[in-house]
Structure 1
């Protein structure tokens, strides 16, 4: 897809306008209700849909299909990020009224850093065709690691630790343990101190970069167009704040999410390896974008359905166990 400098500028200006509107809407700290989160989640999904339809209208079905496949993949991978975001909020004891501001700034930091990753990935792909082998092997390895962790009962929600960047910042920059509204710095006794608000914003943004190590190669497995890669990431990230409040209570019910993500990453990894072999002159079948989109949507649908069924069964079992224990206590009395 041939994207002119003017279209890049117009796209960036439009995204900046949307970010500015989002910031103004959430400028007053308040606890976000499920209704508010639901409305704005629908708005962001609708905007992504309109953008994809615009691509279909002006660039054709191919680029539009790549955008939707990339957007759905990035959105599904971002749901996994929310587990860690919940842990970060709990670790730093962020008041409910300030959580939306933390997420807004944190996501903006992540978007800027991901742009750097995308530019680096596009440069590597343009310079070295063998990089597809590396991306594909990395995704297959990541998928295998996810499956092993899921089978072993490993719970990523229980072992969040600060990354090196956050540890270095907290060691070197004087800080206070108390929140001062949404201020990131305060002056106390003549000293300029960093507040927990800035710390948690950096934690959200820098942690998301670690997730980008999986998601950026994954979307390059669906499209090598930097414009589509960037816009799919941007729309997926910009709706993440509202999604956090909308499905925060449902995250623990998505018990099979790791299995679904591992299948998606493994599938895209195989697709990348096949593409790399094709580029090297080996006659192998390539997976079309329509097949990719169908597989991704089907895996997410099955994963969600089985997760909800398993969660309901676990809840009924727990309720029956409590009832049985209660009856035993009455008998003992």
Structure 2
């Protein structure tokens, strides 16, 4: 599918316009998005991506359209996985709730720029060196193996990766935020705020994400325009999606296994393609190898099938429900105890209300899963402190000491 320059120009202008619209009308004024706002705009961005794909089907044909949708679905799944790491980074740096949108939008813009660079570099390498498919395939197989490690927990995936450790050492900052400003004045001296540190950590992590993302989509299509647009549309709306599924991310306990299967599948597909186009001297004397190649329609079917099974298994799993409730209870209690997390009284009450919901969900799961809470003394202490702070602030001790009832 040949794409003229004016189509490229219109596409880039449209994507830049959507990002600018997002900043001016949603991010510039700090606020906490409502669930309705996040749902409406998430659906809108998905709708735009689907309409674009329909346009590719109509004007480009079935094969390019299938390649676009396979790439978009894969990149969107990887983007959701990336949200886990964004969540950990934001929690690690105690970013105020009202300012999280700006951090996320910066991460999206930086990811788009970084991945675009990797895309054009990857395209140049593919056009010059056929053996690059072997390298991309190996990268994906190694990544898939890494996702299957049992210690692939929230913390190990992003809370203390080397990008964040380096940023903390190299960028001295003030202890407190000053709204969404990047610099502030402390004792008459201008200093950087933690906001800049968060953005550096998000940006550095985005580069690591690109090392998995770009080879994955090149395994589905080598058309640079389709690679670029599928990647861009998968990133647009990620900010809204973060607030829409915040609190449900931990429910997807089998997502890493699904992504491992998808990346492994694409890695095998890339290596088969590399063998089919082989010109490496020490493999079959530099001649192409006759192998079965996986069609785009088969790839799309496998990707969607794996994601459906993975998400369904996660949502139906009692263990997933328990882990979600416990993780969310910990997160909401930590946020409620953090005086800098939000200055909106309504948002603080919402957080405490969510904490009550997690308490009830844990109680509904039965003794087997309540034991998971009792085994974590630090969590019990954290929840009790949140309850005590709320009791003191609202009713001076008359509110029910809700945390320990039924859990201990």
Q: 1:20 maps to which residue? A: 20
The CA deviation at 1:82 is 1.0
Q: Which runs of 5+ in 1 are unaligned?
A: none
The answer to which structure has the higher helix fraction is 1
Structure 2 partner of 1:122: 123
User: Which of 180, 199, 212 is the equivalent residue of 1:214?
Assistant: 212
| Cα deviation digits, residues 5-63 of structure 1 (max 9, x gap) | 22211111111111111111212111112211111110110010111111112211211
What SS does structure 1 have at the residue aligned with 2:215?
Answer: helix
Counterparts of 2:319 and 2:73, CA distance in 1: 26
Partner of 1:287: 294
With over 3 angstroms needed to count, the CA separation of the structure-2 counterparts of 1:116 and 1:313, relative to structure 1, is closer
Answer whether contact 1:143 1:265 (CA < 8 A) is retained. yes
Quick check: 1:107–1:204 contact (8 Å CA) kept in 2? no
Unaligned runs of 5+ in 2: 279-287, 323-361, 373-403
2:318 is the alignment partner of 1:308: no
Give the one of 143, 153, 156 matched to 1:155.
153
**CA separation of 1:94/1:286 partners in 2, compared to 1, >3 Å: closer, same or farther?**
same
Q: Give the deviation of 1:311 after TM superposition.
A: 3.5
Q: Deviation at 1:216?
A: 0.8
Contact persistence 1:118–1:216 (CA under 8 A)? yes
* Separation of aligned partners in 1, 2:133 and 2:369: 53
> Displacement of 1:186 after TM fit?
2.5
2:275 counterpart residue number: 277
After the TM superposition, which segments of 4 or more aligned residues of structure 1 sit over 6 Å from their partners? 322-325
Which of 1 and 2 has higher RCO (CA within 8 Å, sep 6+)? 1
Cα distance between partner residues in 2 of 1:204 and 1:4:
34
Give the TM-score, by structure 1 length: 0.90
The separation in 2 between residues aligned to 1:239 and 1:158, in whole angstroms, is 26
Q: TM-score, normalised by structure 2?
A: 0.74
Q: Tell me what 1:67 maps to.
A: 68
Q: Conserved in 2, the CA contact under 8 Å of 1:106 and 1:202? A: no
1:9 is aligned to: 9
Compared CA separation, residues 90 and 125, structure 1 to 2 (3 A): same
State whether residues 264 and 296 of structure 1, in contact with CA within 8 Å, keep that contact through their aligned partners in structure 2: yes
Question: 3-state DSSP class of the match of 2:95?
Answer: coil
Q: CA RMSD in A?
A: 2.3
Equivalent position SS for 1:160 = helix
Provide the rounded CA distance (Å) in 2 between the counterparts of 1:171 and 1:7. 44
